[in-house]
């Protein structure tokens, strides 16, 4: 399964084409944003192929950011991001609770607030990276669950994706994907068991 293009674009994300006609030179600038890819599945934990491919891309020299919004258990957070293959930054929530049981979260206000704060911190970090142009591939794992739980605003995600400035692909995963995000995608892959 191929999840990203093999094109390698310039770091500044601007390619300059020189077109000569007679003695005049015209410069034309264009930006190249990668594709928006959505991977959906009816169950959580089915995206191991995406993680595998992110490792492969990092080993090939691409800068990759993998953010797992709804995974906890390691008290990692942005400050303790894991670096793999020299180019893969892997970040999970700073909260130690793994967000599988939304009912338990809803019934505990302190837990809910803590999860919301740590997940929103991840989202702000991702927004900065999506707009910076310094990463070749960004994977937002289970971002749709964060939207469903009303931690991340869907319109904020859409706006950020529309204004992104990365040369590579943005990969979004989840189970319940809002229709307006499906319409933005260049590729939609449904994973089945």
* Domain CATH number, residue 63: 3.40.50.300
d(CA 135, CA 50): 16
Question: How many domains is the chain built from?
Answer: 1
Q: Residue 18 falls within a domain, yes or no?
A: yes
86: left (phi over 0), alpha (psi -120 to 50) or beta: left
Q: State residue 24 phi and psi, 5-degree precision.
A: -95, 140
Whether residue 1 lies inside any domain: the answer is no
The per-residue pLDDT of the chain, averaged, comes to 77
The pTM of this model reads 0.76
Query: Which range of residues forms the domain containing residue 81?
Result: 14-191
- On whether residue 3 sits in a domain, the answer given is no
pLDDT at 76: 77
Enumerate the H helices of 75-188 as residue ranges.
102-106, 109-132, 143-148, 154-162, 179-184
The structure tokens listed for 55 are 């490792």
Whether 62 is covered by a domain: the verdict is yes
Decide if 4 is inside a domain.
no
For residue 126, the model assigns a pLDDT of 94
């Amino acid at each position: 399964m191929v999840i990203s293009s093999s094109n390698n674009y310039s770091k500044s994300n601007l390619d300059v084409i020189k077109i000569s006609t007679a003695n005049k030179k015209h410069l034309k600038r264009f930006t190249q944003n990668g594709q928006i890819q959505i991977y959906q599945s009816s169950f959580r934990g089915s995206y191991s192929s995406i993680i595998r491919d992110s490792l492969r891309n990092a080993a090939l020299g691409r800068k990759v950011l993998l953010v797992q919004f709804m995974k906890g258990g390691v008290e990692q957070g942005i400050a303790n991001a894991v670096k793999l293959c020299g180019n893969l930054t892997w970040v999970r929530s700073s909260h130690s609770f793994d967000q599988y049981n939304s009912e338990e979260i809803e019934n505990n206000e302190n837990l809910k607030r803590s999860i919301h704060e740590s997940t929103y911190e991840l989202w702000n970090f991702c927004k900065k990276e999506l707009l910076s142009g310094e990463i070749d591939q960004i994977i937002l794992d289970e971002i749709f669950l964060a939207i469903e739980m009303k931690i991340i605003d869907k319109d904020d995600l859409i706006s950020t994706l529309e204004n992104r400035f990365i040369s590579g692909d943005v990969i979004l995963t989840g189970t319940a994907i809002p229709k307006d995000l499906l319409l933005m995608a260049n590729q939609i892959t449904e994973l089945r068991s």
